Structure 1
């Protein structure tokens, strides 16, 4: 092969490599895009979890701050759950009426605990759960195509962020126990 053929061959390989690389990125982007249905299913699971664990903590929490935080979670997540259910009905998306296996296991663990161990675990669980929810809602606000569902994500996000901040404040109290 002469140098011109080698250069053409290398350019061809480079072009093929770039084409394959760009296709992989497109495919990955499509696969990783959050769908409206997935968002709504995950949001419903999150709301259910917050409501159910909040109800447990309202009765089991030893610190008044834990019980107050739990009651706020129940009230706020019941409201967002109602809005989510109404939106799902409009979009003909069926939401779950029970927790995912992962969240059910955490709820079961919490319900078996008591005292300060419960308070500490509950607050740690809420921080993690709200980190996950915030990430989901931020992704929804960025990626969702349906304007109604995207607006729901955008409008609910500040409340989730406030819950996380409240959880961090309560954690400072439970860490002192």
Structure 2
């Protein structure tokens, strides 16, 4: 009889620990939204960078685009790791606003493309994402989401600065 009670207590303990682990991994809706937004920003920057590599003839724009692909690809990998640990399903495509921006960019070529890419995907997007990451750092309740935003913020700030300089140079 004591063995049966001991076995029941062990099973109950294991179930309780499993439930606690599941609860601790779950995100609140705001932090889940932050994780999705970070993923979509990275997805959009990689896609726009690939388009710029194909469409631009400007060496500086191509160099910037390659940096976007490399850095935001790494950022997306980091975001996916956190999402997997938190049981969050991330989108695989850019959001509607970035899809529209991509469609608009696709219609352009030459210097018009370069200027639009740098001003929209470069300056405007990085300014917006940089502000969002600062807010994520301040407001995230989940330590892993906060750590991700903290890790990505300096890179996005650097991209924002580079985009502003490139935007001034691209005619």
Q: Same fold (TM over 0.5)?
A: yes
Match of 1:153 in 2: 149
CA distance in 1, matches of 2:157, 2:86: 26
Match of 1:114 in 2: 109
Structure 1 residue aligned with 2:33, among 31, 35, 38?
A: 38
Match of 1:169 in 2: 165
TM-score (norm 1): 0.78
Deviating runs (4+, > 2 A) in structure 1?
none
Deviation at 1:137, TM superposition (A): 0.5
TM-score (norm 2): 0.81
Gapped regions of structure 1 (runs ≥ 5)? 1-32
CA-atom RMSD in angstroms: 1.3
CA distance in 2, matches of 1:34, 1:130: 24
Match of 1:27 in 2: none
Gapped regions of structure 2 (runs ≥ 5)? 1-27
- Deviation string for 1:37-58 (max 9, x for gaps)? 1101111110011000000001
